[in-house]
Chain A
Amino acid sequence: DAGVIQSPRHEVTEMGQEVTLRCKPISGHNSLFWYRQTMMRGLELLIYFNNNVPIDDSGMPEDRFSAKMPNASFSTLKIQPSEPRDSAVYFCASSRLAGDTDTQYFGPGTRLTVL
C-alpha cells in the first residue's frame, strides 16, 4: 500500500520565483494536512482539508501561500513569490478522518531552499 507521496523531494529556487509542492494522499483518506518544519518554529500546521474542502487555513503565513485540493487524490501548496524565509521542509499528511483519535500518515517531505 503506497503511503503519502510528495514531489519534488528537494527544490532550490531563487527569491521571487513561484514554487509548487505536490501531494498525493493515501487512497481512501478523507483529510489532508500541510505542515512546515523549521529549526526555529518546529512543526506548524499550515492548512487542512476535509473531503477536499479547506477547513482551517489560519496557519498559512500570508497571502503568498495558497493551497488547493481539486480532488481526493491530489493537493498543491503554492508559494508566490517565494522568499528566503520560506526555506523549510514541507510535509503533507493524510488521515482517514480528522477526528481526535485518527492517526496522521506523513509523506517524506519536500525540502525547499529559497536563495
Chain B
Amino acid sequence: GDSVTQMEGPVTLSEEAFLTINCTYTATGYPSLFWYVQYPGEGLQLLLKATKADDKGSNKGFEATYRKETTSFHLEKGSVQVSDSAVYFCALNYGGSQGNLIFGKGTKLSVKP
C-alpha cells in the first residue's frame, strides 16, 4: 500500500546550519505531498505542500520539491533558527474525492543556539 518513509531522528543542529530531512514515498498514483510541523504541545500545522511533479512548495524559508523520478520530497532550509525546533512530518494524500493523509513517523529537530 501507499506509505511514507522519513529519516530517523532526532536531528540536532546549531543555529544557522543547513537542514535536510529526507522523505520518500510509495504510491500507486500521483499523490499530493505535504510537510506538517508540530511544535511542542501543539497540533500539527501545514508547513508546505506540492500537488504535482516538479512543484516546489515553500514557506518560512523551508522548501521541498516533488521529485517523481526519485519518489522523494526532501525538506530543506538554508539557515535554521532555534524557533524551528519541532517535529516534522512528511505526508501524502493519495487522492480522489475521499483522500486522506498518510504520515511518516516524524523527525524531531532540535536547534541549539
Contacts and interface: CB of A to CB of B under 8 A. Distances in A.
Contacts of A33: 100-101
Given A100-B32, A103-B49, A45 B100 contact: yes
Given A91-B44, A107-B43, A98 B100 contact: yes
A103 B35 CA distance: 11
A18 B44 CA distance: 27
Q: Is the interface of B mostly helix, strand, loop or mixed?
A: loop
A50 B98 contact: yes
A104 B101 contact: yes
Contact of B99 (A4, A98, A108): A98
Contacts of A107: 43
Interface residues of B, number: 26
A45 B34 CA distance: 16
Contact of B103 (A42, A55, A98, A101): A42
A56 to B, nearest CB: 7
Contacts of B41: 108
B95 to A, nearest CB: 3
A48 B100 CA distance: 8
B43 A91 contact: yes
Given A100-B51, A100-B95, A108 B101 contact: no
Interface of B: 31-32, 34, 36, 41-46, 49, 51, 89, 93-101, 103-106
13 contacts: A4-B43, A33-B101, A56-B98, A56-B100, A91-B43, A97-B97, A98-B98, A99-B96, A100-B94, A101-B32, A103-B34, A103-B46, A104-B46
